[in-house]
Amino acid sequence: MSYKMIVLDMDDTLLTSDHTISPKTKEALLDAQARGYKVVLASGRPTFAMWDAARELELAKYGSYILSFNGASVINCATNEEIFSSTLQPDTVAHLHNISEREGIAIHTYVGNEIVTDRPNPYTDIEGELTGMPVIHVDNFKDAVTAPVVKCLMLADGDTLAPIETKLQEELAGKLAVARSKPFFLEFTEAGVTKGTSLAFLADQLGIAQKEVIACGDGNNDLTMIEWAGLGVAMGNANTTVKGKADFITKSNNEDGIAHVIETYMTDVLVTQ
């Protein structure tokens, strides 16, 4: 099979445990793009928090893409054009806040380039560190969200969130997409908007067939794109659910697992040098 696109989750997939791209993986991705492959960064992260990696991998130079907010935004890096977007209305955010209060867990969202929460917690602080975005603590969460937002997160330790994830997937079925990106991040986007659906949209826009796409990830929010892609890849450090759905299990994020995928499956030259 000849592939044309590789799609990468960022945290614990593309990035090592110290949140960097290893030299070997960077070289492999730059070489793949030079040979004509499209590279897509597909993350739950806000777009703002993905540009450093996009610049390091020269996605603009090669006409590659960012798929951020778990698929709620798709960006053409060459033009900085948003070619797809999805948002949650303030009344939906208010409803999610009510649910978070009912479940006794924290919630946050993004207003501009800031993370907003009304319940200080260590997991929102982790998001601030990962994204480089300031965390703003407000007294009234609903009053702070007066315009549509791209997504919301509920936050707690993994043991607490696991049953809540299952319950809310049933409770909100057909209304919102619900998935965990990390054990302590439970993410909410518009119904039908996932990494998988946005990847399908992007591939169609580019004239790339489903069977020509490789998608790599480690977490539950990567499942939709791993299952959709022609070759779904689980990282060696992925959870057991992801590994069970994947077509191929590569090395871990700390062992250049993405470079291993490229060396194994992306050997063709798609463009004339």
Catalytic residues: 9
What is the spatial distance between Cα 236 and Cα 252, in angstroms, rounded to a whole number? 4
Distance separating alpha carbons of residues 80 and 176, to the nearest angstrom: 27
| Rounded-to-integer distance, Cα 181 and Cα 121, Å | 17
Whole-angstrom CA distances from 90 to 110, 170, 230 are 12, 22, 37
Q: Which of 85, 147, 86 is nearest to 116 (CA)?
A: 147
Q: Give the span between the Cα atoms of 216 and 249, in whole angstroms.
A: 9
What is the torsional sign of CA 185, 189, 192, 195?
negative
Q: Is the distance from CB of 152 to CB of 181 less than 8 angstroms?
A: no
Token pair for residue 140? 């009234």
Instruction: Select from 145, 213, 181 the least CA-distant residue to 49.
Output: 181
Distance separating alpha carbons of residues 234 and 215, to the nearest angstrom: 9
Identity of residue 62: Y
226 phi, psi to nearest 5 deg:
-65, -40
* Rounded Cα gap, residues 71 and 195, in angstroms: 4
